Amino acid sequence: MDVKNKCIAITGIGGFIGARMAHRALQNGMRVKGLEICEQKAEQVRQEGVKVIVGDINNPNAVEQLCQQSDVVFHTAAIVKEGGDSALFRKVNVEGSRLVAQKAIENSVRHFIHLSSVMVYGFHYPQNATEDTPMSEQQNPYCQTKIEGEQVVMAFHHQGKLKVTVIRPGDVYGPGSIPWVVRPIQEMRKGILPVPSTGVINHVYVDNLIDFVFLAMEKNLYGEAFNVTDGEATSLLKFFGYYRKMIGKGKLLALSPMSLRFLCHIVEKFYTFIGQTPTVTIDSVNFLNRKNAYSIVKAQQLGYTPKISLDQGMCFIQQWLHDSENKML
């Protein structure tokens, strides 16, 4: 598909990935509209001249408006947390995805791009896991509902109702990323960021991910799933060490996974006692303690090349941190 002058509809357009996709789509001559649950985030995207509908992906009327006269739907909206209420995860990540796909079908959308996650492989997957690696729910609501969300939209593809591409990104970072930039820097500014000594991050800079989204649109990559990372697994100590140098404070505390889980158990008990939500949980340790890389050979064979290196990505984050208008940190 030639993307110029085509209309892309983005769910979760005010989020980290959705907003960046909107910006890049405009740069590439696309018409952009989006759905966003948060009015404040919606207004920020509107400043780029984008039509944004305020509503959630479980609202049929809002999703109908989004899909009308759209060529492509890029579905990013999801509950993205390490753990929590399974019913809420299922409502958004599964039933919300079902509704968006159904409305895309009803409005003759040409291409449905579903943003999933490498977490469909669970926590304990083999080195260089490919798209054929068995999925694993791991009794975790995020992993479980990401698997189910994929199954829902791919069923429509197999029925011949919708042309679907599934993208499984790694750990998406860049200016504004909450889990991989904002939250760890906030914790380091408080003093100490504990991390599992054996964990790695399969990072993907947000613009590298979006490069692949454009590739999927241009090459009509229908009916397939693709792992997308920067092509390297970096130790958590090295990755978060960049932030320590940027802010000039904080300490990384490398602990064995067993020690870190015990510490989190104590912290969770304390926070529950005082009626607050802990910032580090046993679930988050499981996410951080992944030890292996994911293969991106399938994406590379189609022309995907990560253009922004880790060093370059961290330079962009440092520039963002020094922006006097940045209020997030």
Task: Write the pLDDT tens digit of every residue in 298-318.
Answer: 999 999 999 999 999 999 999
0.85 exceeded by the pTM? yes
Dihedrals phi, psi of 98, to nearest 5 degrees: -60, -45
pLDDT (0 to 100) of residue 327: 54
Q: Give pLDDT, residue 152.
A: 98
> What CATH number should be reported for the domain whose range is 7-176+202-232+291-307?
3.40.50.720
For residues 247 and 193, the answer to whether their CB atoms sit within 8 Å is: no
Q: What is the residue-wise DSSP string for 254-292?
A: EE-HHHHHHHHHHHHHHHHHTT---SS-HHHHHHHT---
Give the model's pLDDT for residue 195: 85
Collect the ranges in the chain with pLDDT lower than 70.
279, 324-329
Q: What pLDDT is stored for residue 277 in this prediction? A: 73
**Closest to 30 (Cα-Cα) out of 54, 69, 2:** 2
Q: What would the pLDDT profile of 180-225 be if each residue is shown by its tens digit?
A: 999 899 988 888 888 888 899 999 999 999 999 999 999 999 999 9
Among 163, 177, 173, CA closest to 216:
163
Q: By the 8 A CB rule, do 143 and 137 touch? A: yes
Q: What pLDDT does residue 326 have?
A: 59
The string of pLDDT tens digits covering residues 3-31 is 999 999 999 999 999 999 999 999 999 99
